[in-house]
Chain A
């Protein structure tokens, strides 16, 4: 009896989350793919059903013939979409580099700080991560606007005599992404740097290496897993970002997350929105695989 209960419990532990993810993750995903291959109509829902399993095998084969790749051709032919993809990747890549540039010295200093201070510093990095993303982006609107606090401050210092235009430019998007994702960069970097044996650097310096040389030859190579993890954690969500380009970017700033949103909510073109989603995922497949491999390797080493 007891054994039976245990066996059932073990089964249930696997089956419950498994089924949940099949129904709410995998199936929705297949539906997106299916709809990306169907035609737009003005109705509710606004697409023609490509096939319906209830109608049997013959209808399924018939339905497969109705598949259309025209939504994908449409994306390819319209420079708006191609540009949106390229622009998203470019903005995300530059922001990731900037985040690394600010995050690395921070993580390094945290790892070298006295251990009593480390817990507090770690807490200070994590705390913004818990506060609302939307609110943190919103906070920058008041600062970056033409009559905002940054311009008032620069006026006060006498650095500028006419307001800097930052809102609605790529710069505002860089600031938004770096600000929102900085904890994602600092945490994995700190995790690898904290484990590093700093006596290696002393050894290198004793052997005549300069401080800069030791940094590039020892610290940087040893922190590569943290750099990869941090960059992927910033880059991947930044490519599909919607809130930041929508609130801080201008009307001309094309980013793919926002294009998808508009295609869906403003144009009500669900098939094209689905095709945009599929292509976005294809763009992200390479970095995601790269990230998973790095994670798997880190886990191997951890054991």
Chain B
């Protein structure tokens, strides 16, 4: 093991300070008693209280959660299927086109994805709203799920599946009894990624939403354009807290599973 050089330590401290100080300031100023964002007027939770009576913001948050939940769930199913298709079936007609369509949305600028989906919805005469935002979010987040699950499938030991089938399990049963439990952590990670991508999206939602379906990022964006208010800081702090808690819990669970697995493996080799 190495000791870190002074330069290494400086670059770490600088990098993490850069990443975290703005977020920290944002959180601190959400407890500011003053209406001015840049002047400290003492500690107060008044902005959190005033959030509770901001019906527009609450409505938007509710729409966003529903869209995120629905789109993440469907995107996870479709994305997992796409990952299986990419890793398990190396030969089928149009595979190159399929691979391209799975990877292209990952690098596609959001403005283009948004515009193209909107034009589709207009062309087929679909009313814009909750439904169209959800369809749009499924489309781009299923590709992220596919990539996450695919990397787990590539590392997967296929002899386990072969063993199950030799013992008489049908492919479908093998999938649910052997493959699925192994790739489940990747599927859960994919769902979480899809959920946060949807929660976070401003650009695609702005293109594909209609009257009556305003998401939280859209509401925040329109308020930010009017001026910075501590209320936005309070919403942001709540969002950050929710996401950070989720990510930390997920990684702790993962770590526990890892430790457990290693212990099992050790027991198996020694026993």
The answer to whether A139 touches B22 (Cβ under 8 A) is yes
The answer to whether A17 touches B85 (Cβ under 8 A) is yes
Most buried by B among A12, A21, A108, A243: A21
CA of A19 to CA of B11 in the docked complex: distance in angstroms? Answer: 47
The answer to whether B82 touches A198 (Cβ under 8 A) is no
B216 CB, min distance to chain A CBs, angstroms:
9
Q: A86 at the A/B interface (Cβ < 8 Å)?
A: no
B145 CB, min distance to chain A CBs, angstroms:
10
Contact flag A17-B15 (CB < 8 Å), given A131-B239, A138-B224, A140-B22: no
CA of A106 to CA of B224 in the docked complex: distance in angstroms? Answer: 32
The number of residues on chain A lying at the interface, defined by a beta carbon within 8 Å of a beta carbon of chain B, is 94
Contact flag A142-B25 (CB < 8 Å), given A125-B19, A127-B247, A132-B199: yes
Q: A6 at the A/B interface (Cβ < 8 Å)?
A: yes
**Chain A positions 98-144 with a Cβ under 8 Å from a chain B Cβ:** 102-103, 105-106, 108-110, 112-115, 119, 121, 123-128, 130-136, 138-143
The answer to whether B19 touches A142 (Cβ under 8 A) is no
Set of chain B residues within 8 Å of A138, measured between Cβ atoms: 26, 220, 224, 228, 232, 236
The answer to whether A16 touches B135 (Cβ under 8 A) is no
B23 CB, min distance to chain A CBs, angstroms:
6
Set of chain B residues within 8 Å of A214, measured between Cβ atoms: none
Chain A contact residues, CB within 8 Å of chain B: 2-3, 5-6, 9-10, 12-14, 16-18, 20-22, 24-29, 31-32, 35, 45, 102-103, 105-106, 108-110, 112-115, 119, 121, 123-128, 130-136, 138-143, 145, 147-149, 152, 179, 182-183, 186, 198, 232, 236-237, 239-243, 247, 257, 260-261, 264-265, 270, 273-274, 277, 280-281, 284, 288, 291-292, 299, 302-303
The answer to whether B112 touches A281 (Cβ under 8 A) is yes
Would you give 13 A-B contacts (Cβ < 8 Å), ordered by A? A14-B92, A21-B98, A31-B119, A45-B122, A102-B18, A109-B8, A112-B8, A138-B236, A145-B228, A183-B19, A236-B107, A242-B111, A261-B111
Contact flag A237-B15 (CB < 8 Å), given A109-B9, A127-B247, A277-B115: no
Set of chain A residues within 8 Å of B160, measured between Cβ atoms: none
Set of chain B residues within 8 Å of A119, measured between Cβ atoms: 255
